[in-house]
């Protein structure tokens, strides 16, 4: 794998994760539990899709084959997507969405917090800009974890269950492959091992404050970074890519 | 007329805004609650037909623009519900009235969005019609409503331009895209004209609303304004308005247009439109399925308050 290949792959990992989880959040539009949350969740979705656009645009430039952000978003099939598996998991009820978001946001924040030091100018600038948004995402999902965990019996149950379910996808945040190795050596990528203890500590604290129980099953479901996805991504792409695929000659 | 009523009307006649703490006749208050909450419900139900295409937006730029637009509509709803609350009516109560069918929302949102061109047509025609209505309402007599309209109108005209731009792009695109655009116009034209409400002869509340300056123009006046603005825009797109009777009256300088199907209008208003049941179900399910979230937030806040008290 060349450094260019690695860099391209790394862009996809970052961009696809934001795009897919942002897309999932957008499914809530008009169906949120209360108007204020509709607005808040659309905001997060908007930020993430916006971030995805800028990384995918950069990915296209790195690749050098003239592919645009839209070519990459709309004309790649499942096996070529590099997002974390957690991002493609279904929304479920608002509790499940919040748990998924909390686990992702807390990682995302710590990740970008390191990426600001990247020797790649695009990444450092991108991280700095995105961080300003992601800090709000993390505050929002953390606040709801506390409210739901330490709210009513029902709400407690409605976050504990998805927490147990989704926990298996969190190991992937820190899974290192060939891409990381190449890019860490030249100061471009984040050393995931460095942020792992910080993430564990933050998540443990919030889970405790929320009177929830840390899942004990540490089995790690991996694959997203290599393009081996869960069954859900195919359906997301079928819906998302429908128009550009059905009308290949059209621009929108 | 009582003395209070006379003073109230005198204020209205001098175009002095009525504020929440001012005395007002019960019927005025009722009319406003009905009109503003109906407007708020329309913003919220209106999120659904457009939300329908967010996950299928054909480019990331369009996806972001549509998300932002629908978010604006949610903001409009929130803002208008606050205006309703200045009149002493609880927001959730008016929402429940909408879910039970007692309170109405704009019937245009009971039509389905069937192709991507509908995102353009909705922005161009539906936001376009809303602007004509709302520009007039900027001068409505109730202060909080009038100020809400000023704020909201700016965003609506952005939506209108965005929708129109989407259609310009499609009309200059492939044959299929242009057909989609024409089909969207065919489906949304008449319902857009219906957005202004029944003809003046069938609009029993108009006279009182005009006297109170809740309304500043009649339904038919506003509809005419909309047609005059919109027909040339359709021509620029190269699209045909689905009305064989449409023609410019050189003497008046206004377009004459065909008879609106009022039977369809009253049917849709009374629940028999293509998507009435789906829209109400979506909104009431959102509330029903979300109630535990609100309960959790309240229970948590209460626990925090108790903790503070002890500490
Ligand atoms: Fe609006
Ligand atoms: Fe609008």
- Taking all residues of chain B, what is their mean pLDDT, rounded to a whole number? 96
Question: In this structure, is residue A67 part of a structural domain?
Answer: yes
Whether residue B235 contacts residue B220, with contact meaning beta carbons closer than 8 Å, is answered with no
Asked if A36 has any chain B CB less than 8 Å from its own CB, the reply is yes
Question: In this structure, is residue A251 part of a structural domain?
Answer: no
Q: What confidence category does residue B47 fall into, taking pLDDT thresholds of 50, 70 and 90?
A: very high
Could you list which residues have their CB under 5 Å from ion ligand 2? B 127, 156, 159
Q: Could you tell me the maximum CA-CA distance found in chain B, to the nearest angstrom?
A: 79
Q: How many domains does chain A have?
A: 1
Q: What does pTM read for this prediction? A: 0.97
Q: What confidence category does residue B311 fall into, taking pLDDT thresholds of 50, 70 and 90?
A: confident
Whether residue B24 contacts residue B2, with contact meaning beta carbons closer than 8 Å, is answered with no
Supply the pLDDT for residue B284: 97
Supply the pLDDT for residue B202: 87
Question: In this structure, is residue A83 part of a structural domain?
Answer: yes
Supply the pLDDT for residue A118: 98
Does the beta-carbon distance from B294 to A251 stay under 8 Å?
Answer: no
Supply the pLDDT for residue B1: 84
Of A23, A52, A152, the CB nearest to B295: A152
Q: What part of B 152-211 touches A (C-beta under 8 Å)?
A: 169-170, 173-174, 176-177
Supply the pLDDT for residue A208: 98
CA B163 – ligand 2 centroid, Å: 10
Supply the pLDDT for residue B310: 85
Phi, psi values for residue A5, rounded to 5°: -60, -45
Q: What confidence category does residue A229 fall into, taking pLDDT thresholds of 50, 70 and 90?
A: very high
Question: In this structure, is residue A78 part of a structural domain?
Answer: yes
CB-count exposure of residue B167 (10 Å: 0-12, 13-18, 19+): buried
Those residues whose C-beta lies under 8 Å from the C-beta of residue A56, and which sit 6 or more positions away, are A11, A12, A15, A19, A69, A72, A73, B60
- Taking all residues of chain A, what is their mean pLDDT, rounded to a whole number? 98
Closest C-alpha to A99, from A50, A181, A157, A52: A157
Supply the pLDDT for residue B28: 96
Asked if A75 has any chain B CB less than 8 Å from its own CB, the reply is no
Does the beta-carbon distance from B295 to A50 stay under 8 Å?
Answer: no
Cα torsion A129, A90, B116, B163: sign: negative
In whole angstroms, give the CA distance from residue B57 to residue B66: 8
Closest C-alpha to B162, from B66, B75, B241: B66
Q: What is the pLDDT of residues A135-175, one digit of tens each?
A: 999 999 999 999 999 999 999 999 999 999 999 999 999 99
Q: What is the CATH number of the domain that holds A123?
A: 1.20.1260.10
Structure-block tokens of residue A109: 């924040």
ipTM value, please give it: 0.97
Packed helices A35-63 and A94-115: angle between N→C axes, nearest 10 degrees: 40
Measure B242 CA to nearest chain A CA, in Å.
Answer: 25
Residue A11 has pLDDT above 80, yes or no: yes
Question: In this structure, is residue A98 part of a structural domain?
Answer: yes
Q: What confidence category does residue B221 fall into, taking pLDDT thresholds of 50, 70 and 90?
A: very high
Judging contacts by C-beta atoms under 8 Å, the chain A residues touching residue B40 are: none
**The residue count for chain A:** 252
Exposure string of B196-215, with b = 16+ CB inside 10 Å and e = fewer, is bbbeeeebeebeebeebbbb
Asked if A69 has any chain B CB less than 8 Å from its own CB, the reply is yes
Plot region of B257 (φ>0 → left; ψ -120 to 50 → alpha; else → beta) = beta
Asked if A68 has any chain B CB less than 8 Å from its own CB, the reply is no
In whole angstroms, give the CA distance from residue A29 to residue A42: 7
Whether residue B273 contacts residue B267, with contact meaning beta carbons closer than 8 Å, is answered with yes
Question: In this structure, is residue A252 part of a structural domain?
Answer: no
Q: Could you tell me the maximum CA-CA distance found in chain A, to the nearest angstrom?
A: 55
Whether residue A73 contacts residue B61, with contact meaning beta carbons closer than 8 Å, is answered with no
Residues paired with B248 in a beta bridge: B255
Asked if B24 has any chain A CB less than 8 Å from its own CB, the reply is no
Supply the pLDDT for residue B206: 85
Asked if A92 has any chain B CB less than 8 Å from its own CB, the reply is no
Whether residue B258 contacts residue B246, with contact meaning beta carbons closer than 8 Å, is answered with yes
Asked if B151 has any chain A CB less than 8 Å from its own CB, the reply is no
Structure-block tokens of residue B104: 């109405």
In whole angstroms, give the CA distance from residue A230 to residue A221: 10
Domain enclosing residue A192, as ranges: 3-213+221-246
Of A26, A94, A146, the CB nearest to B55: A26
Supply the pLDDT for residue B205: 81
Asked if B289 has any chain A CB less than 8 Å from its own CB, the reply is yes
Choosing among B51, B57, B58, which should be mutated to test the A contact, i.e. which has the most A CBs within 10 A? B58
**Which ligand is closest in space to the CA of residue B73?**
1
Supply the pLDDT for residue B207: 87
Measure A62 CA to nearest chain B CA, in Å.
Answer: 19
């Amino acid at each position: 794998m060349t450094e260019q290949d690695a860099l391209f792959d790394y862009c996809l990992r970052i961009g696809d994760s934001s795009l897919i989880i942002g897309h999932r959040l957008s499914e809530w539009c008009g169906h949120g539990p209360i108007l204020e949350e509709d607005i808040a969740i659309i905001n997060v979705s908007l930020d993430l899709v916006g971030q995805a656009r800028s990384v995918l645009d950069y990915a296209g430039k790195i690749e050098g084959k003239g592919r645009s952000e839209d070519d990459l978003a709309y004309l790649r099939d499942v096996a070529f997507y590099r997002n974390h598996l957690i991002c493609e998991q279904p929304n479920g009820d608002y509790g499940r969405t919040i748990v998924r978001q909390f686990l992702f946001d807390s990682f995302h924040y710590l990740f970008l917090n390191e990426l600001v030091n990247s020797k790649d100018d695009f990444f450092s600038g991108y991280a700095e800009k995105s961080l300003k948004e992601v800090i709000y995402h993390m505050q929002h999902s953390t606040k709801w974890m506390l409210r739901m965990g330490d709210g009513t019996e029902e709400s407690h149950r409605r976050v504990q269950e998805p927490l147990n379910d989704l926990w298996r996808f969190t190991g992937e945040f820190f899974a290192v492959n060939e891409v990381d190795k190449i890019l860490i050596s030249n100061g471009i990528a984040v050393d995931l091992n460095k942020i792992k203890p910080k993430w564990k500590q933050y998540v443990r604290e919030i889970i405790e404050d929320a009177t929830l129980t840390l899942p004990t099953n540490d089995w790690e479901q991996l694959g997203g970074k290599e393009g081996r996805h869960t069954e859900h991504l195919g359906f997301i792409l079928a819906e998302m890519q429908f128009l550009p695929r059905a009308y290949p000659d059209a621009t929108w | 007329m009582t003395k209070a009523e006379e003073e109230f009307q005198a204020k209205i006649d001098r175009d002095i805004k009525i504020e929440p703490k001012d005395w007002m006749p019960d019927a005025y208050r009722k009319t406003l609650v009905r009109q503003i909450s109906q407007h708020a419900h329309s913003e919220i139900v209106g999120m659904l037909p457009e939300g329908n295409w967010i996950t299928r937006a054909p480019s990331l730029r369009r996806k972001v623009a549509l998300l932002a637009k629908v978010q604006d509509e949610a903001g409009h709803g929130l803002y208008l519900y606050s205006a309703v609350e200045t009149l002493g009516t609880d927001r959730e109560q008016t929402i429940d009235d909408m879910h039970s069918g007692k309170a109405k929302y704009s019937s245009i949102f009971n039509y389905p969005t069937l192709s991507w061109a509908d995102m353009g047509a909705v922005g161009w025609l539906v936001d376009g019609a809303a602007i004509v209505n709302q520009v007039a309402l900027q001068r409505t007599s109730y202060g909080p409503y009038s100020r809400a309209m000023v704020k909201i109108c700016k965003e609506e005209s952005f939506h209108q331009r965005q929708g129109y731009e989407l259609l310009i792009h499609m009309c200059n695109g492939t044959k299929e895209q242009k057909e989609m655009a024409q089909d969207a116009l065919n489906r949304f034209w008449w319902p857009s004209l219906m957005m202004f409400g029944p003809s003046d002869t069938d609009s029993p509340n108009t006279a009182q609303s005009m006297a109170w300056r809740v309304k500043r123009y009649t339904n038919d006046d506003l509809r005419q304004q909309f047609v005059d603005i919109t027909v040339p825009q359709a021509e620029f797109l190269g699209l045909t308005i689905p009305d064989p009777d449409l023609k410019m009256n050189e003497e008046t300088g206004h377009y004459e247009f065909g008879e609106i199907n009022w039977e369809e209008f009253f049917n849709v208003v009374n629940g028999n439109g293509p998507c009435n049941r789906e829209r109400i179900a979506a909104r009431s399910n959102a509330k029903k399925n979300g109630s535990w979230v609100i309960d959790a937030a309240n229970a948590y806040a209460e626990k925090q308050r108790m903790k503070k008290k002890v500490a």
